[in-house]
Amino acid sequence: MFGLSLEHLVILLAAALFILGPERLPGAVSQAVRAVRRVRGFAAEAQQQLEAELGPEFQQLRKPLQDLQALREFDPRAALRRHLLDDGPAPATAAPRTLRPGERAPIDSDAT
């Protein structure tokens, strides 16, 4: 929700409780909820109106945004697994062991 973590929401709630007081806080929260619903309704209505007026051209306008979203969700490891393992299940790999300060990595005699 708006990129806020749980800690930020708790801080905002505590600040609102301190500023507004326990009597006015429920009314302020309900007003905020109504405003968010109204804005969402306006956005959905605008999207429907654009789809109705532009028709298939609207999808052409949205395609670059959908491609950008796909790039944001791109996972190189999943792509490698998909292409190297032919969509097979991902292999179970153990987490690499961390070395202590001054410790050397073991030499793999099979690699030579």
| pLDDT tens sequence across 15-55 | 988 898 888 888 988 998 999 999 999 999 998 888 888 88
Which stretches within the chain are classed as H helix?
A: 6-54, 56-72, 76-84
Domain assignment present for residue 51? The answer is: yes
Q: How many domains does the chain have?
A: 1
Domain holding 52, by residue range, is 8-88
The contacts of residue 99 (CB under 8 Å, 6+ apart) are: 105
Nearest to 50 by CA among 66, 65, 61: 61
Domain assignment present for residue 101? The answer is: no
Please tell me the pTM assigned to this model.
0.46
Q: What is the pLDDT of residues 65-78, one digit of tens each?
A: 888 888 877 788 87
Domain assignment present for residue 65? The answer is: yes
Domain assignment present for residue 27? The answer is: yes
Domain assignment present for residue 107? The answer is: no
Q: Do 48 and 56 contact (CB within 8 A), yes or no?
A: no
Domain assignment present for residue 96? The answer is: no
